[in-house]
């Protein structure tokens, strides 16, 4: 085990995968010489050469399109979109080509690509560097969607994603790159190297896709969260005094429905937390699934705590960001119903 930040864990996963399989190639905007805007690929070009880790033009559709072609020819591209907000020009390539390739070719071709994207807010990035577009991808059949909340899972899930034979959208909450964040922006930053989940296993140890993690046991209410919201939920539980069980979904597609059902059947209540906008967010799908599978166990209406249905603000970031106060209010409300 080694203590790592999420940035270091992601870099380590690249290194392990590239060392094990020469078909793994890494590229994107500033990914090669510069090592990525967040340094997640630092040192890889120097170690593996310019043919396996290289810079791409500022052309997201081109980055994804060439990755699909490489995958069809047997390579395993791991590409970086510099911010999730920049992925929209490549959306057609992802939806119409990458997600469909296995099916439209009757499995003659597959598309083993990983599309990494820093996602979410909390860094004063404003409208174009803070979006959470996960629901746009969970809606598309043929894609897997992953969002780790800590360095240990980041390395293991990325290794599993690279090994997967189909396209994976790998979303990295950038507010968690250097340490856990509980929504209290006015408190000192805590490093992952002082947190238990900063201990990252050595070698090629995968975390399986499609398996949620029980982050905190509780008996009063189930909180479904992922990414940064896992720690916001934890802070809300501590402040509210509600004995909530926190499920870190980790993989949104495929979803670990068994873990969700098991928890909700135990607690009888459910609060769903995500940073993305409310309408048609992934929380709506979670509510529908819980309603369908746990209806006779629910003792109160479910509650969503999400971002607002507005463009992500800069000056009012902490009014938009679903913080511990809003989550705590939801926990108390669902307990009083």
Cβ–Cβ < 8 Å for 314, 127: yes
Q: Over the Cα atoms of the chain, what is R_g?
A: 19
Phi/psi at 155 (5° precision): -65, -50
The region that residue 132 occupies, defined by phi over 0 for left and psi between -120 and 50 for alpha, beta otherwise, is beta
Per DSSP, the residues of 29-84 read: TT-SSS--TT-TTTTHHHHH-TTTEEE--S-HHHHHHHHHHHHHTT-EEEEE-SSG
H or E element in which residue 156 lies: helix 151-163
If you ran DSSP here, which 8-state letter would residue 96 be given? I
- Count how many Cα atoms sit within 13 Å of the Cα of residue 17 in the half-sphere of its side chain: 30
Catalytic residue flag (residue 274):
no
Rounded CA gap, 150 and 152, in Å? Answer: 6
Q: Which of 14, 129, 195, 297 is catalytic?
A: 129
List the catalytic residues.
129
């Amino acid at each position: 085990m080694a203590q790592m930040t999420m940035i270091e864990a992601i870099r380590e996963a690249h290194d392990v995968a590239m060392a094990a399989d020469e078909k793994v190639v890494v590229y994107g905007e500033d990914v090669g010489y510069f090592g990525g805007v967040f340094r997640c690929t630092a040192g890889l070009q120097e170690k593996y050469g310019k043919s396996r880790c290289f810079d791409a033009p500022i052309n997201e559709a081109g980055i994804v399109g060439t990755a699909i072609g490489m995958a069809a020819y047997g390579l395993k591209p791991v590409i970086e979109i510099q911010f999730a907000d920049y992925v929209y020009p490549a959306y057609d390539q992802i939806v119409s080509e990458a997600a469909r390739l296995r099916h439209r070719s009757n499995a003659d071709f597959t598309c083993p690509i990983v599309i990494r994207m820093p996602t979410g807010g909390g860094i004063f990035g404003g409208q174009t560097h803070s979006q959470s577009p996960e629901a746009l991808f969970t809606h598309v059949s043929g894609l897997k969607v992953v969002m780790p909340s800590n360095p240990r899972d980041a390395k293991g899930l990325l290794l599993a994603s690279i090994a997967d034979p189909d396209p994976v959208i790998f979303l990295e909450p950038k507010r968690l790159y250097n340490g856990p964040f509980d929504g209290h922006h006015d408190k000192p930053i805590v490093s992952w190297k002082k947190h238990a989940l900063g201990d990252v296993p050595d070698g090629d140890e995968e975390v399986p896709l499609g398996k949620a993690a029980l982050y905190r046991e509780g008996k009063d209410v189930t909180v479904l969260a992922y990414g940064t919201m896992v720690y916001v939920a934890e802070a809300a539980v501590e402040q509210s005094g509600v004995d909530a069980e926190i499920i870190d979904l980790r993989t949104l597609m495929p979803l670990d429905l068994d873990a969700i059902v098991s928890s909700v059947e135990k607690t009888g209540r459910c609060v769903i937390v995500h940073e993305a906008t409310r309408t048609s967010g992934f929380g709506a799908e979670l509510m529908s699934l819980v309603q369908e599978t746990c209806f006779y166990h629910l003792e109160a209406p479910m509650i969503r705590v999400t971002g607002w249905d507005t463009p992500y603000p800069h000056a009012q970031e902490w009014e938009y960001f679903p913080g511990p106060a809003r989550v705590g209010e939801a926990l108390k409300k669902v307990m009083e119903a």
